[in-house]
Each structure stands twice: as structure tokens, then as C-alpha cells.
A and B are shown apart, each in its own frame.
Chain A
């Protein structure tokens, strides 16, 4: 048996492929429905499409437009391989591609600051993003917020674009002029303003705010997207200019919201951290402490006060779960023992589950994992760009709200991790540097599964199974008690329901 495996290794290794596909295959496909009424769907942050002015386009028989067509014809006559590759890449869908780019940015920036020689930590500085530590530390709360800002802004911008597209009804260059090839899948959506340019503009502005050190790469990708739209015969220069301006204008509303949503104060101060510990001790509980060395300040203790999308601050407090088992209770002792026995007798199957859902440092985080999962379903459903954007916006609003509400509970109770109460408990995955109760994975994942189950009811059972696995993976890893997980799931279910209530009446269903 072993010998045959060795022989197989010998024979096949020479042919080992070193090419690993880095991205999901996003097959170009035409949307099943054009969603012509999307301009009337309910807004989330904006007041409505007429909040922005998109001037009427010049007629298709005007000299200016004909000149634009001529330049497309010329460009198509001598497309480079690089240009063809860019067209193929963006044919996968702008919403899906930007989601991939966003996941990559999160993974790139998901690294905690290293300690200084004097055993202190310096916080990442948005005004000095290239320094060590780099800005941002895209940890799960930061990432949840980032995914939500980008996807909600894209969704709102596309709704405005759809409104004007159908108001003006200008066809695409390939439809106007038979000598221009259509090199991207037909969308049956009017071309002015260009949805690809809207996405490039709104995404660039949000991403450069969230990941300022990557502005060069973000700007280059956005330009590639616009070029691909032009060269493919989908949009003329004026379609693109109007789309870019609209995308940027919509983004400004979200940039302004982000400046005042409470994130700046999320890290808190040493006095606040001490007050949290004192409050837990005053309730007779063992307060959470950092198990990192040197001890690291807790991760974004005031993230629970950051503005949510579908919940008011009062909703967040009202939905807060009841207290965890007391750190001195018999139930806690029993749950602690369960964690210890689990990590010390972990099967390889359970370890694989712990690793599958770990989503720790250097990854796209748990919200990114659910965007990854959603991508497959959104791609298979052949959605219009605006409907694809809606799916990601709903998913990420629910996960951001889950992050806010979970963090509010975590820092309200300030409950210790299993390894703090029992140092003999060694973890099978990295130990997060924030309080235990409730489990963030359980809350994020259940909120995500609730929303995805609503959007893709045929797969609801699968999402449900996945969220259960994501949740219990934290017990397998040795970083959560069972009550963190069970309560987190229940909390996440209630939070997800806020977004589903919105989805039921926004006019898209």
C-alpha cells in the first residue's frame, strides 16, 4: 500500500503542475432579467435617484457620438492580447470582480500590528498607511464594515444608474453601429450611464478610503474596467464619463457617512478598557484579559457603538443576549471541561472543520468567507449587475450589523476565553484577542445564512448546515464555549431578520 503510494509519487511528481488558479471562474453570461424597474427600488442611504443629476446624453446621430463610435471601431481593429484579457476578466461581472478584489484587499491588510521593542503596540494610522504597522488592520469588524460600505454603495449607485439608463434609453455602441463588435455578454440594459463606469467610480472612492495604501492598484483596476467596457462595444466614452461621475458622486455620500459612523472611536482608550474590566469584576466575574505577549489592547472595543445599517442603536441594545454563565458557575466549569476534552482529543475531521472556517489573520475573515460562498450562487443565478449588487449589499449589511451587535455584547460582558480560565487549554487555531461571549463566527454566519437563505431558498438548508459547522468549529478550535456558540447563533438569526424584512419590501421581489 505504502509502496504503491510512493511509486505514484515518483511517477506523478515530475508532472506536478505549479499553476494554481487564483480566482473563481466567473463565466461570462447574460443576465436572465434586465431588472428595468431597479431605479424604483427602495434606497437605503440615499433619498432617491434624483438626488443626483445625470445630464441627458447627446443623440446617437450627433457628430460627437459618431466620433466616439469611430474611436471604438479603430480600437477594436487592433486589440492587444492584454486588452482582450481585460475584456474577458471584466466579462465575469463588475460586481463579482470587485467583490474578489475587496476580499483580496482584506486578506492583504488582515495583520495585527507587531509589538515594539518596549513591548507596546502602535495603532495603525489612516494618515500614514504605508508605515509599520500598515493601515488598516483589516480584522473581522473592520472587514465587515468595509464589505458593507463597498457593496451598499455599489447597490445604491447602480439603482441610480438604472433609473437614468431607462429614462434616457440610449443603446450600446454595438447596438447602434453594426460594425462595432459586442465583445461582452449582452445585458439588454441601456448604456447611458455605463454601469461598469459607475462601479469603477463608486468602488474606487470607497476602497481608497478603506485601503489607502493600495490606491494605485485600485485606481488601475478601475481604469481597466472602464477600458474593457469601451473596447468591448458596451459603452461609449460619454456613457463612461457619465457613469464615472455618478459613481463618484454616490460614493461621496457614503464617504461622508463613514466619517461619522463611530469607527474613529472604535479602538477606545486605555481608561475605557480598564473601565470594562472593572465593570465585569464589579459583577463578580473574571474579566477578560489579553493572552497575547506582550498583552495587546482588545480589538475595537467600541465597534458595538458603530452605526449599523438596519438596526438603530436602541435595536442593538434591545437585541443584546442575556448574560453568559457566570465564570464561577458549575455550568461554566462544565463548559470549560468540554472545551478541554475537545481540543485534547480532536479528530482530524474536526480539525479540518476548525481550519476550514478559521478565517484568521491573513485571510478575508468570516464575512469574506460568506462573500466567497455567495459569489458562487450569485454567479450561477445569472443576475443583472444591480440585482447582484443587491445580493451582496443585503448579505454584508446583515454581517456588519451582526458584527456591531456581537461586539456590543462582547464588550458589555467582557467574558474571558477558555484558555484564560484554564491555561491548560491549548487552541488548535489562533486565539482571537477579544472577549469570548458571544461567538463572532456564530453571529456573522447565522446572519449571513438567514439572508442567503432568503435570496436563494433552494440552498437554504445548505447555508443552514454551513452556519452550524462554522459555529461549532470554534469549539473544535478551543476558543469558544458552547454557550458562546448557541447564543451567538440565536443572536445572529434575529439580526439577519432585520435585513430580510427590508428585502421583502424594497420592491425587488
Chain B
């Protein structure tokens, strides 16, 4: 359900971040991770994600639905991040998304989703004990829906069609022996969404308007693992809390402003190609542990990224 689309950007950027952080020379990064890309370097490539679920939470009630079967969302994203200086990175991302239901008559949807641009600024980087280094990073990210895809066909809409602005703080500890621990939290402001209909019912109330107020979102991620040389095996726990919105009612369709919450576990194996150390491969799996108004999704991601040095 919604989880996939609303957090897709987030997922992919985590993926990109983990990947980039592993490449020894580039060290480069993304929105959540604790590493900065050196100046005059560009890391870019594509990520493919396959996300599916058949069970979902209707409010807090977990169920299956024979009218949709399994919902599958595939996406292919272009990602890029450029080190303006060692302390300032600019990150961009654009996914193309396809959705499909395995049962029932509902038509899938596809299209370009939201363009995200982020500026990442390193506030602090200092030795912390004799065993490692501590970093603190601030990120400002804005997302804008591209095209005119509809947010009014959940669970098959490709996104929420809401302009968003997120501010994020990340703290990272990297031990010299290779272990690392990163914590990252963000508050996301979401702009009003416009529907193509004059009225809707949500959260116990009829609204005679085509404008939908979108509740803001808080999320955090904690990741820990080992990164050294060409191997990286981290795990991450993440949680999203939507700060408002109604539940899906019994046997109702989901709605764009529903209170979509979830907790996810993420596991990753990364590998750099020994003979082409600027080329990185990544395979990751994410599992939704618990949720509300979202599908219990399993996501597999594969990416190929290349770093250019200018």
C-alpha cells in the first residue's frame, strides 16, 4: 500500500547512501547517511526496486483483500550526488514507478513520480575517543511531483502528489576498525494535495473541497554494521510516524492523507567490483515489521552506481 510510494524516495536514498559509503575512495553520500562526498566528485546511477505485499493494515486490523491480491510496485530511479565541496553535497533523484494488482479488476498505474533535490551540509567532523570519528550532518530536501499522476487511486497510485520539504539531522560514528553506527531523524512538511473531485470523506468528516490537508511525517533510522574495503553488511531499523490523518475504515479504500505508519528492517550486502573500484553494486532487502494503513511490504533493491572524479 501507500508505504511503498510515500517512502520510496527515502528507501532509495538509504540504499544509495549505504552503497556510496562503502566505496573506499568516494565515501559519498546521501540524505540519511553519515558520510560526505568529497568535492568535485559525482556519484550517479540507477536503482531498481521491487516491492510487494498481500497483507495490509486496514487501520490497525491486519487483513488480505481478494479484490487486489498482491500489490506489486516496481521502480527504476536515477540518482546522483555531487560534492560541491567536501562539506556541501547536492543530491538529486527521480523515480519512474509502475504498480499492479494481481487480482480483481483494478488497473495499475505508472509514471514519473517525484523529483527530489537535497542539500547536505557537514556541521561537524571530529575524532571521538581514539577509536573512531563522529560526524553531524544537516540535510534539507525538497520533493516535487512531476507530471500529473493521480494520488486518488490508492493502493495503486504511484505517489501522494504532495510537495514536501524535509529537514534532517544525522549523527554517525565510524570506528577505525570498520564498525559504524548511524542515527538519522527527519521532520517532513507536506503541502496540500489537490484531487480531481469536489468532495471526499476522511477521518470521520465530509470535506466539500478538492483540497486535502496532508499531515506531516516524522521518521528516524538507526543503522549499524561493518564497512571496510570491498564488503559491507549493515542492518537498519527505521520507523515512520505520520502526525495525523484518518485510518482506513472497514472495507474502505485507502486515502492519500491516511495515517500511514510503519517500522521496517533492512538488510544489505554490498560489493565493489575489484577491477573497477569506481563501480558499485548493491543488493538489499527490506521487510515491514509492523504498520498502520500500509501494506506489509517486502522490498528488494538492486543498484549500479558509478563515481566520476572531476
Contacts and interface: CB of A to CB of B under 8 A. Distances in A.
Interface of A: 2-3, 5-6, 9-10, 12-14, 16-24, 100, 103-104, 107-108, 110-115, 132-134, 291-294, 343, 348, 351-353, 355-356, 358-364, 368-369, 372, 419, 425-431, 478
27 contacts: A6-B115, A6-B117, A10-B140, A10-B142, A17-B213, A18-B192, A20-B192, A21-B207, A22-B207, A103-B199, A104-B206, A108-B206, A110-B201, A111-B250, A114-B250, A293-B103, A351-B196, A352-B196, A353-B196, A355-B195, A356-B196, A360-B253, A362-B200, A362-B249, A362-B252, A428-B107, A430-B106
A355 B207 contact: no
B274 interface: no
Interface residues of B, number: 50
A9 B206 contact: no
B103 to A, nearest CB: 6
A499 B212 CA distance: 37
A226 B189 CA distance: 42
Interface of B: 66-67, 103-108, 115, 117, 140, 142-144, 146-150, 152-153, 163-165, 189-192, 195-201, 204-209, 211-213, 249-253, 255
B207 A9 contact: no
A293 B66 contact: yes
Contact of A20 (B143, B164, B213, B249): B213
Given A111-B250, A361-B252, A20 B206 contact: no
Contacts of A111: 249-252
Contacts of A348: 147-150
The 6 closest A-B pairs by CB, nearest first: A293-B66, A426-B107, A104-B206, A107-B201, A352-B196, A114-B251
A338 B160 CA distance: 30
A115 B66 CA distance: 10
Given A6-B117, A10-B165, A427-B106, A19 B198 contact: no
Given A108-B204, A132-B250, 14 more contacts: A6-B144, A10-B140, A10-B165, A13-B163, A22-B208, A133-B251, A134-B250, A293-B103, A343-B107, A355-B152, A356-B197, A356-B198, A361-B253, A372-B208
Contacts of B144: 2, 5-6, 9
Contacts of A100: 206, 208
B240 to A, nearest CB: 19
Contact of A426 (B105, B206, B207, B212): B105
B189 A431 contact: no
B117 A20 contact: no
A363 B255 CA distance: 12
Given A13-B142, A20-B192, A363 B199 contact: yes
